[in-house]
Amino acid sequence: MSAEYQLDQDINHAIIEFYERLSSWEQSVVRDQGASLAQIHTVEILGANGAMRMKELADKLGITTGTLTVQVDRLVKAGLVVRQSSVNDRRSVEVQLTEKGQQMFAEHDQLHLQLTREMTAVFDDAERQQLLRFLARLNSTF
Amino acid sequence: MSAEYQLDQDINHAIIEFYERLSSWEQSVVRDQGASLAQIHTVEILGANGAMRMKELADKLGITTGTLTVQVDRLVKAGLVVRQSSVNDRRSVEVQLTEKGQQMFAEHDQLHLQLTREMTAVFDDAERQQLLRFLARLNSTF
DNA sequence: ATCAAGTAATTTGATTATCAAACAATGTGG
DNA sequence: CCACATTGTTTGATAATCAAATTACTTGAT
Give the pLDDT score at A30: 85
CA distance A107 to chain B (A): 14
- Among chain A residues, CA nearest to B117: A8
- At B26-56, the pLDDT tens digits run 887 887 777 899 999 999 999 999 999 999 9
Give the pLDDT score at B120: 95
| B51 φ/ψ angles, rounded to the nearest 5 degrees | -55, 145
Q: What CATH fold (topology level) applies to the domain B36-140? A: Arc Repressor Mutant, subunit A (1.10.10)
| B84 φ/ψ angles, rounded to the nearest 5 degrees | -150, 120
Give the pLDDT score at A28: 77
3-state secondary structure A84-134: EECCCCCCCEEEEECHHHHHHHHHHHHHHHHHHHHHCCCCCHHHHHHHHHH
Q: Could you tell me the pLDDT band of residue B1, with boundaries at 50, 70 and 90? A: low
Q: State which residues between 39 and 98 of chain B bring their CB within 7 Å of strand D.
A: 53-56, 58, 65-66, 68-70, 72-73, 83, 86, 89, 91-93
Q: Looking at strand C, which nucleotides approach a protein CB closer than 7 A?
A: 6-13, 16-22, 25-28
Of residues A4, A14, A135, nearest to B14 (C-beta): A135
Give the pLDDT score at A4: 67
| Closest listed residue to residue A124, CA positions, set B6, B131, B124, B4 | B4
CA–CA dist B1, B88 (Å, integer): 54
CA distance B100 to chain A (A): 21
- At A39-98, the pLDDT tens digits run 999 999 999 999 999 999 999 999 999 999 999 999 999 999 999 999 999 999 999 999
CA–CA dist B83, B77 (Å, integer): 11
- At B81-140, the pLDDT tens digits run 999 999 999 999 999 999 999 999 999 999 999 999 999 999 999 999 999 999 999 999
Residues B95 and B51 sit within 8 Å (Cβ to Cβ): yes
CA distance B130 to chain A (A): 9
Residues whose C-beta lies under 7 Å from strand C: A 27, 31, 53-56, 58, 65-66, 68-70, 72-73, 83, 86, 89, 91-93; B 36-39, 62-64, 66-67, 70-71, 74, 89-91
Residue A111 has pLDDT above 90, yes or no: yes
Q: For A111, what's the count of Cα atoms within 13 Å in the CB-facing half-sphere? A: 17
Q: How many CB atoms lie within 10 A of CB B6?
A: 10
B65-77 helix and B54-61 helix, angle to the nearest 10 degrees: 100
Contact between the CB of A85 and strand D at under 7 Å: no
Say if the Cβ atoms of B14 and A136 lie within 8 Å. yes
Residues B120 and A15 sit within 8 Å (Cβ to Cβ): no
CA–CA dist B57, B51 (Å, integer): 9
